[in-house]
Each structure stands twice: as structure tokens, then as C-alpha cells.
Structure 1
Amino acid sequence: MKIENIGDLQVLVQTASYGSLTAAAANLGITPAAASATLKRLENQLGVRLFERSTRAMRITSQGQILLDYAKRAFDLLEEGEASVSSDRAALVGILRVAAPSDLARNSLLPWFSEFLELHPGVQLALSVGDKVMDVMRDEVDLALRYGTLADSRLVARTIALSRPILCASPAYLQRHGAPQTPQDLLQHNCITFERAGKRHRLWRFAQNGVWTEVRVNGDRYVDDASLAREWAVAGAGILLKSMIDIRQELAAGTLLPLLTAWDTEPYPLHALLPSGRFVPGRVRALIDFLAEKFARAAATQTF
């Protein structure tokens, strides 16, 4: 092992966090000279440059970022291990950094997260909500929930729910414009689109008797927050193609009505993504198992 003192990595973590060696040293209770010497020692041991230094800031290098990611996970695991050996019940502790799509968070996850935190009072949740795809490898995320096909083969993924998109519209919209009878009829309708996997999702696919049809839809509104797209649809602004998981409450209440029910849509899996399969804190594994069970119970009583 090249790194002789794992405590030296705290200087790396704090310097990256503050962007300043002086601030990192103050937080660690050591002198700036000692912090600087520690970083130089790490760089010599590894044979790489961890920071680009300037008079104004410390900018982490690509090699430094890789080590930083592993260092954070290592300290998380050490914290969890210390709590486990000092507790009769090996309680879960630490921060859970989770990224989730907006509609999924608002419609399903919020009460489940609250239940999980009540079960594990030693855990803190740091939730990032949005439909823009986060870089799980580089952002400070322990777990990302993401719909659709995965493009990054480096990620460790577990499918925790399987749904299909539902074409839908409000009763008010259908009263004004009528309901489409075939996918091609959507070309004559106002379709609400939103970002999916970081791109505007306009190519909607439907199948009947094993034959797939693609329609490039259009409309007068497009948004990067899928929950707003759902609200527009409920308000009667247009037709929406959305995961059954996200609109099941509106379908049950009748504020959105399913369309083209004789046509199939593509499976739309929900994945739990991890930056690494080797170092997974127990609290992350526990949350994934907890959410998988919740979705399984929901699927048993409702069609996803």
C-alpha cells in the first residue's frame, strides 16, 4: 500500500471541499504548513499530482478526483464500522446522498424516505431532486434513481421497479380536442414533452401485434422538470406520455385518462445506480432493499 497514513486523506478531502489549503488546515486543527506537507507526501507516495496550485485556489486534478471519491467512501465505511462495533444493534449511521427524478420524489419517495429515516434515526438524507442526469461517478452521490436504458456501463445498477409509460390527457383537454385513435393522430394534438436521460423526449413509440410505430410529437410547451409536465397535463394543456409510477394517483382520481390503451409502450425500468459495487455502505444497501420492497408492494396492488 503506497499511502502510509490513511489520516492524510482527510487533508485531501478537506482541501477539495474548501478549495483552500488554509481553510482545510483550520478545519483540521493543523497549520497550513503541515497540511501542505501532508499533500506533498501523498503526491510523492502515489507519484501523481493531486491539486493544481495557484495563489487564489487549489483545483483538484483528475487523478486527485478519483482518489477523493474513494477516500470519501472509505471514511464513510469506517464511520459505519465504528458505529457497528460500538452498538449492540449495529445501527445504520451517516449521510445518504440520493439523487432522484422530480415526479418520482414528489409522488412516491418522500413518504418512503421519511419512513426509512424513522426506522434508522442515525441516518441523514441529502436529497437532490431533478430530471437532469447527474454524473454518479463524479458528483457526490451515493445512490441515484434513474429511469430508462443505461448508457454508462461503468455504473453498478439494480432494477427496483418496472413500469411502462402511459399516454394520457385530462378530461378537459379531451372534451375540447377529442381523443387520438392511433399514434399518428398525435401529430394533430398538442403534446407536452420533457427531458428524459438529459434529452428532450419527442419520439414516442407504440406497438400493436408486435409492430412498432414511432411518432415525433410536438407541442407548445417543453420543460426540464417532468413534474411540471404532469401538472400541465392535469390542467388540460395537452397530451402526456409518462411512467405509470408517476401518474398512478391522477389516473386513480380521474384527473388524467389513459389513451390508446390497445397499444403497447416500451418497458421503462427504474434503476438504483451506484458509483461502485465494491464499497457500498450498509445504509445504501438498506435503502435500496427498502425501496425495492416498497415498489414491489405497490406493483402487487397497482399495474405499473
Structure 2
Amino acid sequence: MKIDNPGDLRVLLQTARGGSLTAAATALGITPAAASATLKRLEQQLGTRLFERSTRAMRLTAAGQTLLDYATRAFELLEEGEAQLATDAGALVGTLRVAAPSDLTRTVLLPWLDEFLAMHPGLQLALSVGDRPRDVVRDEVDLALRYGALPDSRLVARRLAVGRIVLCASPAYLARHPAPQNPQDLLRHNCLIFDRGGKPYRRWRFGQQGQWTEVTVHGDRSVDDASLARDWALAGAGIMLRSELDLLRHLASGELVPLMIDWETEPYPLHALLPSGRFVPRRVRALVDFLAKRFEALDAAGAAGLATP
């Protein structure tokens, strides 16, 4: 299988974007017949169907989606190379598509991203914020920051922070309820539930002297945005188990109080995920290096380093 003319892939891209060969032809300035002939030629060369055709629309097949993912990145790299030649050799250009957890973005990343963009005025940032894991390849994300174990060994990962999770509540909540001393005490508390890895995080684990205990907690509220769970905790609505990185400022200021500090919690590393080890744009590598240095400095400074405005 070989594509004789890589330029034919632009018909694939435009058909996927517009949903029809007519839309692709209009975008490319050719006739619908020419667009149809180009797509048929691609399918013959590859020996597979790229679209399922119907009277209403054209839908990508699995093979078509795979080729579209790679073709999109290939054309982006060509555009970046052309832009790079037209600018100072040392300048970074292009768009950074970044996906990151909501609370980490708001409490830690935003000023760092602003700083990085100020350092490289030729860059644009497309930021996707949320707590549901993004598919780095399918969603055309250049870089995803993700907590926890890595689900896909095909991705290239770089650990940015070791991290851990911390049990905490506000002084207002603790004024009304006695602080838990062991995991079983949590069954008598209102625990704030949020999604982790796309599922409600209810099974909390704690260790002591090499022995681990797991409890299934309950509460009167659950949310798919961890930053809202933090807001509830700050307002005194309940107890929360969250990444310490997301809460450094609130823990340092005393707005949230760590609980059961003689109990161990599981490590919760933060990774930078890339779609592949090949053809990673220089702008993406530069951002990963920049973030790694900032997290290293944050770890060295401790909570006080983030508590200062």
C-alpha cells in the first residue's frame, strides 16, 4: 500500500470536515467529480474504504479515521515548517493544543501558560479544560496533562510531578463535625464525590504500617468537575480527597485543613502525554520542558511557593 500523491490527502481532510465531497470540492477549488475521483484513487491505492457513503452524508471508517489523524498531523507539521522558515530560526510558531485537569489549570497552570506565551509571541494556545480524560490522538491534542496511572502504553509520557492525594476539610466543617481519626470514621461524614478517570471516585484507600484499608464513602453531592468539589469543601459542605497539587494554596493559607495525617495515601503522579515519539513539534517539546522546570521548582519551594500571590 502506497499513496502516490500525498496531496490527495487534502480531499480526505476536507471531506471529513465538511461531511461531503461537494464541501471538500468547494474548499479545495475543484469540481465534485475531481474530488470523488481523488478519493476513489486513494481507496484503491490503500486497498480499503475510507468513508461509508449514504445519500445524506459520508462517515469515516475506522481506517479512514486512522489515516485522517496522521494526515492532519502531517499537514500541521508542514505548515509549521513553512512558518519556521519565514521567521527567526530560534522562534517557536504555531498552535499548542493542550488538555489539562480543571483545578490544576486554574490554581497552577494559568500563570505559567501566560508566561510561556509571553516568551514566545509566535505561539497560539488552544486550551481544553476538564476532568474527563482526553484521547490524545483522536481529539488532536498535542499535549495532555493527566493524573494517575497511564492507561495507554502507546503514548509517550513524561512525569512532571510525583504528587499525592490529601484528605481535607474546611475549618467551618470541622467546627460542626469531629475530625475523622481513621478510615471507618469517614462513613459518618459527608464526603464530596467527583469524577476521576471519567467515573465517580468513591472508593478511598489509606495505609498504615504497610496495611491498606479501603472504604466506600457517601455524601449528598457529586460532580464531574473537581474544581466545584473544591468550592464545596471551601464552603464547609464536606470532606474531600484530592491531589495536593490542586490544593497547595488553600492548604498553605489554612482554608483547608489536612486530616488523618498519620495515614498514608496513594501516590498520584502527574504526567505529560504526547501522541507519539516521532515528529513531536518543537513548540510542544519546549512547553513540556518549561512545565517540568516549573513543577520541579514548585516541589522544591513547597506549599509556601504557591501561597504567595
Q: TM-score, normalised by structure 1?
A: 0.96
Quick one: distance in 2 between partners of 1:90 and 1:58?
A: 42
> What amino acid maps onto 2:37 in structure 1?
A
1:46 is the counterpart of 2:42: no
What corresponds to 1:240 in structure 2?
Answer: 240
Give the 3-state SS of the residue equivalent to 1:150 in structure 2: coil
What corresponds to 1:269 in structure 2?
Answer: 269
| Structure 2 CA distance for partners of 1:22 and 1:90, relative to 1, 3 Å | farther
> What amino acid maps onto 1:175 in structure 2?
A
Give the 3-state SS of the residue equivalent to 2:255 in structure 1: coil
Retained in 2: the 8 A contact 1:76–1:281?
no
Retained in 2: the 8 A contact 1:80–1:92?
no
Quick one: distance in 1 between partners of 2:149 and 2:14?
A: 36
> What amino acid maps onto 2:59 in structure 1?
R
Deviation at 1:19, TM superposition (A): 1.3
Quick one: distance in 1 between partners of 2:33 and 2:283?
A: 37
Give the 3-state SS of the residue equivalent to 1:295 in structure 2: helix
Quick one: distance in 2 between partners of 1:115 and 1:26?
A: 40
Quick one: distance in 2 between partners of 1:106 and 1:203?
A: 26
CA displacement 1:9-36 (0-9 Å, x = unmatched): 1111111112122112212222222211
Q: What stretches of structure 1 of length at least 5 have no aligned partner? A: none
Quick one: distance in 1 between partners of 2:133 and 2:225?
A: 12
Quick one: distance in 2 between partners of 1:92 and 1:7?
A: 26
Quick one: distance in 2 between partners of 1:275 and 1:75?
A: 16
Retained in 2: the 8 A contact 1:50–1:63?
yes
What corresponds to 1:12 in structure 2?
Answer: 12
Deviation at 1:102, TM superposition (A): 0.8
Give the 3-state SS of the residue equivalent to 2:127 in structure 1: strand
1:35 is the counterpart of 2:35: yes
Give the 3-state SS of the residue equivalent to 1:215 in structure 2: strand
Quick one: distance in 2 between partners of 1:85 and 1:137?
A: 27
1:226 is the counterpart of 2:226: yes
Q: What stretches of structure 2 of length at least 5 have no aligned partner? A: none
Q: TM-score, normalised by structure 2?
A: 0.94
Deviation at 1:87, TM superposition (A): 3.0
Q: What fraction of aligned residue pairs are identical, expressed as a percent?
A: 71
CA displacement 1:153-200 (0-9 Å, x = unmatched): 222211111111111000000000121111211111111011111111
Quick one: distance in 1 between partners of 2:126 and 2:41?
A: 33
1:59 is the counterpart of 2:53: no
Quick one: distance in 1 between partners of 2:69 and 2:205?
A: 39
Quick one: distance in 1 between partners of 2:111 and 2:10?
A: 35
What corresponds to 1:153 in structure 2?
Answer: 153
What corresponds to 2:215 in structure 1?
Answer: 215
> What amino acid maps onto 1:174 in structure 2?
L
Quick one: distance in 2 between partners of 1:89 and 1:79?
A: 15
> What amino acid maps onto 1:212 in structure 2?
W
Retained in 2: the 8 A contact 1:77–1:281?
yes
Give the 3-state SS of the residue equivalent to 2:68 in structure 1: helix
Quick one: distance in 2 between partners of 1:263 and 1:49?
A: 56
Give the 3-state SS of the residue equivalent to 1:268 in structure 2: coil
Quick one: distance in 2 between partners of 1:91 and 1:110?
A: 22
Retained in 2: the 8 A contact 1:83–1:91?
no
Quick one: distance in 1 between partners of 2:36 and 2:113?
A: 41
> What amino acid maps onto 1:31 in structure 2?
T
What corresponds to 2:89 in structure 1?
Answer: 89
CA displacement 1:39-85 (0-9 Å, x = unmatched): 11111111111111122111111001111111111112112222333
Deviation at 1:264, TM superposition (A): 1.3
- Structure 1 runs (4+) deviating above 6 angstroms are none
| Structure 2 CA distance for partners of 1:64 and 1:140, relative to 1, 3 Å | same
What corresponds to 1:131 in structure 2?
Answer: 131
> What amino acid maps onto 1:115 in structure 2?
E
Deviation at 1:260, TM superposition (A): 0.8
Quick one: distance in 2 between partners of 1:50 and 1:28?
A: 19
Counting only pairs closer than 5 Å after superposition, residues 156-235 of structure 1 correspond to structure 2 as 156-235=156-235
CA displacement 1:203-247 (0-9 Å, x = unmatched): 111112222121111111111000000000000000001111101
Give the 3-state SS of the residue equivalent to 2:229 in structure 1: helix
Quick one: distance in 1 between partners of 2:124 and 2:153?
A: 29
Quick one: distance in 2 between partners of 1:145 and 1:20?
A: 35
More displaced, 241-250 or 12-21?
Answer: 12-21
Quick one: distance in 2 between partners of 1:295 and 1:249?
A: 15
| Structure 2 CA distance for partners of 1:90 and 1:13, relative to 1, 3 Å | farther
RMSD of aligned Cα (Å): 1.5
> What amino acid maps onto 2:264 in structure 1?
D
